Structure 1
């Protein structure tokens, strides 16, 4: 049974790395002593070792050890035997490319669907959807496919931003970009605002946090949903 947290971000304004969600993670990861971290997204080009160190410094606050997947000789086996898995933010295209390069897509799908806890933030959340086509990231590398892990039956747009009515910027809004997506694709998209997350437990998908999320369905007017709303009807 799937046990997943899909979080919009790792850091909210005014708090440390993962700090806002650590109380939730204490319960979510209660049966895991060591977290397998996948640092492939490499925010700002950070090294795998430095990224893993940053994550370890956060998880030690809830008495969890962290080991990077790059430290294992056999990354597929590392996933299969993990007590819990965390995929952090950065560039979604880089992350997806590395997952395909190391033949980890199927291993992750099987392991997570069998119940190993999975935490994703930002890019690590993007890959939980059907595809990565609604990421905000620049395509700085070209993965073999835009198809993602499909843990949920829709796409995700982390860091969702509402239009700023006071801004003089005349460029496209996030909502405009998602509407463009729906000119060529039909899956729903969830705009997750900072500090929000989805709690996936089996077939249940619930919005968590204090903010609403914006839902975009093909050929429908976008709408807001409140925290604690079940979203497993979206397909």
Structure 2
């Protein structure tokens, strides 16, 4: 039975790291004394140790200890034995590359599908969809596959932002980029705005947070879905 929180971001404007979602994480990880953190998405500027320490400080507020997957000799065993798992943000191409390099993608998917509670933010949420092809990140490294965990039956575009009608910027909007994806792919894409998340309980998917999400389907007008909506119909 899947038990996931899939969040658009780790930090909302004006708040500390994970602060806005900590109240949700208390019951989500209620049976976890220790959490396994996967820092693979962080490309530069901060080491895996430093990134893990940042996460450790946040979870200390709810009395959960944190160990980074890089601290274990065998990453797949660490995943299989984890009480709970958190994959943080960064670059999705790097995250996917590292998961495949460490032979952890399939094991992670299987472990979470068996019920180990999972939290993803940003890149850690991108990998919850069927593929990583709707990420906003630059392809700084070439992963062996775009296929990801498949915890939900559609793709995500996290940090989704609407076009600003007052802006003079002439570049493509997020909506335009998703429509480009749909020129060649039929998978639904959910635009998840900042401060919103998906709660996944087995096959039930519920939109949480204060903002609506935008559902994009090939050759259809985008649909706005309000917070509290059951998204289990999206396939």
- Judge same fold: TM > 0.5, yes or no: yes
| 2:26 aligned partner | 26
| 2:121 aligned partner | 121
TM-score of the aligned structures, taking structure 1 as reference length: 0.99
Return the offset for 1:130.
0.5
Give unmatched runs, 5+ long, in structure 2: none
| 2:104 aligned partner | 104
Query: How far apart are the structure 1 equivalents of 2:203 and 2:221?
Result: 26
User: 1:31-50 residue pairs with structure 2 within 5 A?
Assistant: 31-42=31-42, 44-50=44-50
C-alpha contact (below 8 Å) 1:36/1:83 kept by paired residues: yes
Give unmatched runs, 5+ long, in structure 1: none
Deviations 1:98-129 (A, max 9, x none): 00000001111111011000000000000000
State the aligned residue count: 235
Deviations 1:187-225 (A, max 9, x none): 000000000000000010000001000000112100100
TM-score of the aligned structures, taking structure 2 as reference length: 0.99
Deviations 1:127-185 (A, max 9, x none): 00010000000000000001110000000000000001111001000000000000000
Query: How far apart are the structure 2 equivalents of 1:221 and 1:87?
Result: 32
Matched, 1:188 2:188: yes
| 1:201 aligned partner | 201
Return the offset for 1:46.
1.7
Root mean square deviation of aligned Cα: 0.7
Query: How far apart are the structure 1 equivalents of 2:110 and 2:191?
Result: 26
